Amino acid sequence: MGMTMSEKILARASGREVVRPGDLVLGRIDFAMGHDLTIPPAGKIMREQMGAERVWDPERVAVVQDHFQPAKDAASAALGRMTREFAREMGIRWYFEVGQGGICHTVLPERGLVLPGELVVGADSHSCTYGALNCLATGIGSTDLACVLALGELWFRVPETLRFVYHNRLSEWVESKDLILHVIGMIGVDGARSKAMEHTGEALRHIDMEGRLTMTNMAIEAGAKNGIMACDDVTEAYLRGRAQRPWQPVASDPDAEYEQTFEIDAEKVPITLARPMSPENTAPIDEVAGTRLDQVFIGSCTNSRITDLRRAAQVLEGRHVAPWVRLIVTPSSHQVALQAEREGLVRIFMEAGAAWTTETCGACLGGHQGVLGEGEVCLSTTNRNFPGRMGDPKALVYLANPVVAAASAVAGEITHPAEVVRQPVGV
């Protein structure tokens, strides 16, 4: 019996020829990441409780200032300082300061730091994002990160794998965000609990790498340990000129065993939103159209890469945000922000009445630069809408793709993009 991609990566990392679901293995880590909320406690545990003076390999660690940075208060400034001092003292090569990096889950792929066939961990739940690049990437806590920083290895339970096969291709206005929301609505927020989500099928050939990263980013919203995709021409084209190390892709064997296989006709997936208060509470746009909005947020590690901003700007160009609605646009990295400025996207957003912010997690986790008040309704391109996620527990958050977000900001209510773009510019 063959192995899945996830099983092959854990077998290589643990020095075994074969692993099976349920096996416990000690895996050698290829790359690790921490940020301003997780490095301070991890560094303290590593040094004070483990007695380690140096990280196992400063070339294989990234430290990113991205959650409450630029500092929103004195406590955040202290976390930023501790993160900065740890990275400097440890000689971390891949340290990303405010104004130079951005959101960790965009920075690592765009800088070529996470590669096919690798075992990657990050002290953040959305570290599963990197699996679109054919690696096994999963989130860990600060205590586990301390062990990785000191030793370069960690224990893993080999996960069962769920296979999702996508046929045909997405329809107009429907994006990868809609596809993954459709899947989460189908299996639930615990439908892949502690399992691997393997995405495959012909529909993926028509989804670019940034769209694929959106899909694996939300594996954790289904409870998964990781999301993963095969390495193909799209992957190789994305990595060309980026990859910081040699890499070796993995592919699932034809006789690999899956716990369950789901067949999905991508052509039949509608524009899909998640209603409050869970990513599994999904509905086609027709069922929520007309919902009045107080805020629209285009940002996060899920949907604020350059392709997302381009599509949103196409809808907003020449139009204006509706009265009494605030539109906040947060690019996911400094490189994305620079590219958006070069392409004139920043001007389009600001002329439309949007607030353009520093690249940060910010409003996504209710941190800063867009926190919601009691009873406010927000349409967001983020990944979670649990009570209190973006601010007050009584705020209502809908999740959608960036084009729907842009169109809804113009209309002042949840709206199909076609309803906005068919209107003459300036109306």
Short-list 87, 33, 66, CA closest to 358: 66
Cα Rg of the chain (Å, integer): 21
What average pLDDT does this structure show over 213-236?
98
How far apart CA 120 and CA 131 sit, in angstroms, is 9
pLDDT tens, residue by residue, 124-142: 999 999 999 999 999 999 9
Nearest Cα to Cα of residue 106 among 309, 346, 350: 309
Superfamily the domain 272-420 falls into: Aconitase, domain 3 (3.30.499.10)
DSSP string, 277-328: T-TT-EEEHHHHTT-B-SEEEE-TTTS-SHHHHHHHHHHHTT--PPTT-EEE
Look up tokens 């099928």; give the residue: 201
**pLDDT at residue 423 tops 90:** no
pLDDT of residue 1: 84
- Would you place residue 166 in the very low, low, confident or very high pLDDT band (cuts 50, 70, 90)? very high
Question: Quick one: pLDDT at residue 292?
Answer: 98
Q: How do residues 142-152 score in pLDDT, each as one tens digit?
A: 999 999 999 99
pLDDT bin (cut points 50, 70, 90) of residue 427 is low
Question: pLDDT for 174-218, tens place per residue?
Answer: 999 999 999 999 999 999 999 999 999 999 999 999 999 999 999
Cα separation of the two ends of the chain:
62
C-alpha pair distances (Å), 343 with each of 270, 310, 329: 30, 9, 16
Q: Residues 300-311: what's their mean pLDDT?
A: 98
Q: In whole numbers, what is the pLDDT of the chain averaged over residues?
A: 97
The number of beta carbons lying within 10 Å of the beta carbon of residue 86 is 22
Please name the fold of domain 5-245+254-264: Aconitase; domain 3 (3.30.499)
Give the amino acid at 66. Answer: D
| pLDDT, tens digit (0-9, with 9 covering 90-100), for 64-86 | 999 999 999 999 999 999 999 99
243-297, pLDDT tens digit by residue? 999 999 999 999 999 999 999 999 999 999 999 999 999 999 999 999 999 999 9
Residues 36, 41: Cα–Cα separation, whole Å: 10
What are the beta bridge partners of residue 179? none
Residue 186 burial class via C-beta count within 10 angstroms: exposed 0-12, middle 13-18, buried 19 and up: middle
34-55 pLDDT per residue, tens: 999 999 999 999 999 999 999 9
What does the pLDDT read at residue 143?
A: 97
Q: Domain ranges in the chain?
A: 5-245+254-264, 272-420
3-state secondary structure of 31: strand
3-state DSSP assignment of residue 404: helix
pLDDT at position 24, please?
Answer: 98
* Burial class of residue 363 in the structure, from the number of CB atoms within 10 Å of its CB (0-12 exposed, 13-18 middle, 19+ buried): buried
Confidence at 425, pLDDT banded by 50, 70, 90: confident
Q: What mean pLDDT do residues 374-384 have?
A: 98
Q: How far is CA 130 from the centre of its chain?
A: 8
3 state SS of 117:
coil
Give the span between the Cα atoms of 354 and 338, in whole angstroms: 17
Q: In the predicted model, what is the mean pLDDT of residues 382-408?
A: 97
Q: Position 336: which residue type?
A: V
Give the model's confidence band at 426: pLDDT under 50 very low, under 70 low, under 90 confident, else very high: low
Residue-level pLDDT at 375: 97
Residue pair 198/5 in contact by the 8 Å Cβ criterion: yes
- What pLDDT, on the 0 to 100 scale, is given for residue 3? 98
Residue 48 per-residue DSSP state: I
